[in-house]
Amino acid sequence: MWDGRVETRKARICSFALVLIALFAGTATIHAQAPPSPASSGPASSAPATRFVVVLDAAHGGSDAGGSLATQPGQTQAEKAYTLALSVRLRSLLGARGIAVVTTRESDTAVDNNRRAEIANHANAAACISLHATQVGSGVHIYTSSLTPADPARLTPWKTAQAAWITRSLALAGVVNSALTHAGIAVTLGRTGLPAVDSMTCPAVAIEIAPKAASDQDQTSNQAQASSLDDPQYQAQIAQALAAAVLEWRSTAWRDNDSSPGAQP
């Protein structure tokens, strides 16, 4: 009788301990996925020593080739290869300027959209740039998430985590727009639903490289315009402008202002 009561008490204590452990683990997991609040892990103006990290996300990869780009007459290049090459080039430019860069892929490998967002979120990045390329349109298209801006919350749905960072993302898009325009590149701004970006808890923009605008080039034929995607000068011009935008973002918008979600630049 006495032994039975002791065993029952031990079993209750063990169950209570297990429930506590499970609750603690669950809270920690959810907190890791939520956008950092100003008071917790997010980079804040009160902590200027926070490392400035940029995440470069080369879209597609592996079996997901993305779009097909006409680079040379009669030749095409997969979007995944184009974005990877641009990511490598941009990483080199940023690295040379002393900026820490995290990339979502370094080779032709398939990376899930959730994994891309995980990499960006764990890097606690000051800027996330998703790189794309297309044959449609002209110039550079800058997209931010079309989610409605929301106040930062401790628990955030994974698929709409970017909602708390929309204001900062729009500010980043403005800085990128200024840098590209200053470099003489035609820019269009827009908002869209992009699965990887929608889950990122950092200022995030999607950059889509399109053929050079007709007014910007000497050759006027459609073929020449289409193949301008492969023009090394055009690529270098864009990469330099993006690097300048990141530098501008670091020197002004990010350092001088609170980089917490929802903060006004």
Residues that bind other proteins (CB under 8 A): 60, 64, 66-68, 79, 132, 134-138, 141, 143, 146-148, 150, 157, 159-160, 163, 188-195, 198, 206, 208, 210
For 17, counting Cβ atoms within 10 Å of its Cβ (0-12 exposed, 13-18 middle, 19+ buried), the class is: exposed
Is 48 or 157 the residue whose CB approaches other proteins more closely? Answer: 157
Distance in Å, CB of 21 to other proteins, minimum = 32
Is 93 or 194 the residue whose CB approaches other proteins more closely? Answer: 194
Give the Cα-Cα-Cα angle 145, 124, 158 (nearest 5 degrees): 45
Alpha-carbon distance of 234 to 211, in angstroms, equals 9
Cα 16 to chain center, whole Å? 41
Closest of 171, 239, 168 to residue 207, by C-alpha: 239
DSSP letter at 179 equals: H
Is 53 or 90 the residue whose CB approaches other proteins more closely? Answer: 90
Name the token pair of 234: 């055009």
Distance in Å, CB of 170 to other proteins, minimum = 10
Distance in Å, CB of 198 to other proteins, minimum = 7
Distance in Å, CB of 159 to other proteins, minimum = 8
Is 46 or 148 the residue whose CB approaches other proteins more closely? Answer: 148
